[in-house]
Amino acid sequence: MSDRLLASDRAKMRDADRWKIEEGAGMNYGMRCHDICPKGNVDTVLDAVKALGVGQIQLALGKSIAGYDFGPGHYSPGLAHMLADKLRERHIHVAVLGCYINPTDPDEEKRQASVAKFIEHLKYAKIMGADMVGTETGRYSSSFAVVPETYTEECYRLLLKSMREIVAAAEKIGVIVGVEAVHDHTLYSPEMMRRFLDDVGSPMVEAILDPVNLISGENYQDQEAVIGRAFRLYGDKITMVHVKDFRLEEGRPIFEHVGNGLFCYEPLLAWLKKEKPYITMLLENSTSERYHNDVAYLQKIYQQV
């Protein structure tokens, strides 16, 4: 963390310098749409994205776009084309269409509804030109509580059941499924992600890497090793990256803004620079006021590693 930009240094950067960095070497930066502005009508939201100059977004339809029901059974090609046209008019690309379901919900009715919702999002993604539809892998709890059953073989098998239904649809529609490991979810480690990718065995499944989500109160001092294991075990399948920071509170990681916490970016950016040039990195827990300085901060480290 020794080469980080100080907040005062970031604040001194001129706007022209910020834009030069974002258009520059080796990375594509973007942001979650719902971090840019509150939920609203589609034109208001996408105008805010354009005004900030963000060209790559993660779009969670239900979190960002008001006035429509994006639950299962409400999809239509006309709605998808309307959204696609408005994105295209503003030169905004959806890197991840977010559909963060709980594929291991022990309530079968809720699990089936989640799978149906995800499959409908595959249809939106096809028309909108999104790179993938993304999800985490859930917990064995209808309330999404952290429970020990999440780490069991039974829960993993339920994940496979859900994802095989989703992947079968993705292969027919022709859309990538992005899967994200989290330390207290069903895929809780790089080893579990590799097992899952092998068991699913589909070219339509790729990995979203959020390294902070792989960090717990127990392994946070071994960040470099955790990141290294992820790249060695399934680096071939990593095609999207989320980035944020964290602090510890009562032994648990709590999300922080980029550069304000304990995450060491150098190992991550070194791996990306070597193995994944021009990969899209989506900032989480950023804001419209912070975004350009956060990108400058990351790009300076990227250039130095």
What are the pLDDT digits (tens) for 42-94?
999 999 999 999 999 999 999 999 999 999 999 999 999 999 999 999 999 99
Reported pTM: 0.91
22 vs 189, more confident: 189
**CA pair distance 184, 214, nearest whole angstrom:** 8
DSSP for 80-128? HHHHHHHHHHTT-EEEEEE----TT-SSHHHHHHHHHHHHHHHHHHHHH
| Percent residues over pLDDT 90 in the chain | 91
Q: How much is the average pLDDT of 120-136?
A: 98
The answer to whether the beta carbons of residues 105 and 118 sit under 8 Å apart is: no
The answer to whether the beta carbons of residues 258 and 243 sit under 8 Å apart is: yes
| Percent residues over pLDDT 70 in the chain | 92
Whether pLDDT at 248 is above 60: yes
CATH class of 7-304: alpha beta
Whether pLDDT at 127 is above 80: yes
